Amino acid sequence: MARMHSKGKGASGSSRPNSGNPPEWSEMDKKVIEELIVNMAKEGHSTAMIGMTLRDQHAVPDVRLATGERISQILERNGISPKYPEDMMNLMRRALGLIDHLNSNSKDLHNRRQLELCESKIRRLADYYKGSGKLDNDWQYKRDQLRLMVE
Q: How far apart are CA 25 and CA 19, in angstroms?
A: 14
Q: Under a CB-based contact definition with an 8 Å cutoff, are residues 80 and 120 in contact? A: no
Q: How far apart are CA 90 and CA 53, in angstroms?
A: 19
Q: 31 pLDDT exceeds 80? A: yes
pLDDT value, residue 2:
61
pLDDT value, residue 20:
80
Mean of pLDDT values over 25-45: 90
Q: Under a CB-based contact definition with an 8 Å cutoff, are residues 2 and 9 in contact? A: yes
pLDDT value, residue 149:
86
Pick the closest to residue 27 from 68, 72, 53, 60 (CA basis). 60
Q: How far apart are CA 29 and CA 65, in angstroms?
A: 12
Q: How far apart are CA 55 and CA 57, in angstroms?
A: 6
Q: 111 pLDDT exceeds 90? A: yes
Q: What is the pLDDT of residues 48-95, one digit of tens each?
A: 999 999 999 998 888 998 888 999 999 999 998 888 899 999 999 999
How many angstroms separate the most distant Cα atoms in the chain? 57
Mean of pLDDT values over 10-14: 76
Q: How far apart are CA 109 and CA 129, in angstroms?
A: 30
- DSSP for residue 86: H
pLDDT value, residue 4:
78
Tell me what the pLDDT averaged over the chain comes to.
90
The pTM (predicted TM-score) of the whole model is 0.81
Q: 139 pLDDT exceeds 70? A: yes
Q: What is the pLDDT of residues 119-134, one digit of tens each?
A: 999 999 999 999 999 9
Q: How far apart are CA 2 and CA 5, in angstroms?
A: 9
Q: 138 pLDDT exceeds 90? A: yes
- DSSP for residue 145: G
